[in-house]
Amino acid sequence: MSDMTLRQWLLTDAPTSRRHARLASLYKGWLSLRSNTMAMFGLGILVALLLMAFLAPILAPHDPYAQDLANRLLPLGTEGHVLGTDSLGRDILSRLIHGSRITLYIVTLVALIAPLAGLLVGTIAGYTGGWADVVLMRITDIFLAFPRLVLALAFVAALGAGIENAVLAISLTAWPPYARIARAETLTIRSSDYISAVRLQGANPIRIITKHIWPLCISSLIVRVTLDMAGIILAAAGLGFLGLGAQPPSPEWGAMISEGRRFILDHWWVATMPGLAIFTVSLAFNLLGDGLRDVLDPKDGGQ
């Protein structure tokens, strides 16, 4: 099949099978996303972040944990240290590269835990209704009543400092918005003729929720997850800044900022470089999220 024929096959308005329709939809969505310059810019940054994390041992010019007190607080570009050194003489660039692994680790785990928990709670509440809906939504409202970082601090204080506990704390504070989105989608879907037909065929509630309601909620959750990544990164950095996230000598970006704040006036690069890394990655997720919203949820993208 030639490229031109494949393109025509993917762009057809009359798919011949369910698989054909799914591939055609994905291809059209990719074309729409590709036309968004800023979204592609954000995607490029995230791809570079993934490659940097995967190739960290190769890309890092120095050992991120090696201390050299004789070369502490060197400015940018001095003695082979492109971004300078910190108060213990460790290479900042190498620590930033290895710190990208920690950032992706936190983001990935939270992106797997929080949306799934929110999807489960929201769809059960929206489909069953009654007292289950009232109880689950009031619990959700209680979590939403507290600022995310304050609630995460409370959980970490109870669980103890550490990167795993930080991930769990952030996940426990991040699921309520997904639950509300899933519930709203479920309330719209459950009264549709499509669900009524499935119910008349004898499908039980579990099958209806997992096989027919969840797939229709996924696109909204994907958009929300991508847009929330910046907040998750900032929450993780905030916990690291306060010493409740990844523990020293781990090269976590928030902890690096915390260490560098003591030297911000005379040695600005120690705190500025990890701060720029957090800003860049957060911006990339926001740009990609805006592009995905236009593709997956056009009715919101035009508002």
pTM equals 0.85
- Domain assignment present for 15: no
pLDDT, position 129: 84
Round to whole Å and give the CA distance between 171 and 139: 15
pLDDT tens digits, one per residue of 195-211: 888 888 888 888 888 88
pLDDT tens sequence across 248-258: 888 999 989 98
Q: Is 87 domain-assigned? A: no
Could you read off the pLDDT of 216-228 as tens digits, one per residue?
A: 888 888 888 988 8
How sure is the predictor about 51, in pLDDT bands with cuts at 50, 70 and 90?
very high
CATH of the domain at 292: 1.10.3720.10
In this predicted structure, which of 68-72, 197-201, 239-243, 295-299 has the lowest mean pLDDT? 295-299
Q: By residue range, what is the domain housing residue 260?
A: 98-301
Task: Check whether 32 has a pLDDT greater than 90.
Answer: no
Supply the mean pLDDT for the chain: 86
Torsion angle of the four alpha carbons 238, 116, 286, 240, in this order, in degrees rounded to the nearest 10: 10
pLDDT tens, residue by residue, 249-290: 889 999 899 888 888 888 899 999 999 999 999 999 999 988
- In a domain, residue 64? The reply is no
* CA distance linking residue 256 with residue 243, whole number of Å: 10
Residue type, 184: A
* Structural domain contains residue 40: no
Q: What is the mean pLDDT of residues 36-53?
A: 94
Within-domain flag for 162: yes
Instruction: Give the relative orientation of helices 92-128 and 163-189 as an angle to the nearest 10 degrees.
Output: 40
Query: Which of the four pLDDT bands, split at 50, 70 and 90, describes residue 48?
Result: very high
DSSP string spanning 102-130?
HHHHHHHHHHHHHHHHHHHHHHHHHHH-H
Q: Is residue 276 part of a domain?
A: yes
**Torsion, Cα of 66, 72, 76, 80 (10° steps):** -50
User: For position 37, what pLDDT does the model report?
Assistant: 92
Looking at the structure of the chain, the number of domains it has is: 1
Q: State the virtual CA torsion across 47, 53, 54, 57 in degrees, nearest 10.
A: 140
Alpha-carbon distances, residue 173 vs 28, 132, 165, 242 (angstroms): 35, 21, 12, 18
Within a domain: 290: yes
Residue 157 has pLDDT above 50, yes or no: yes
- On whether residue 118 sits in a domain, the answer given is yes
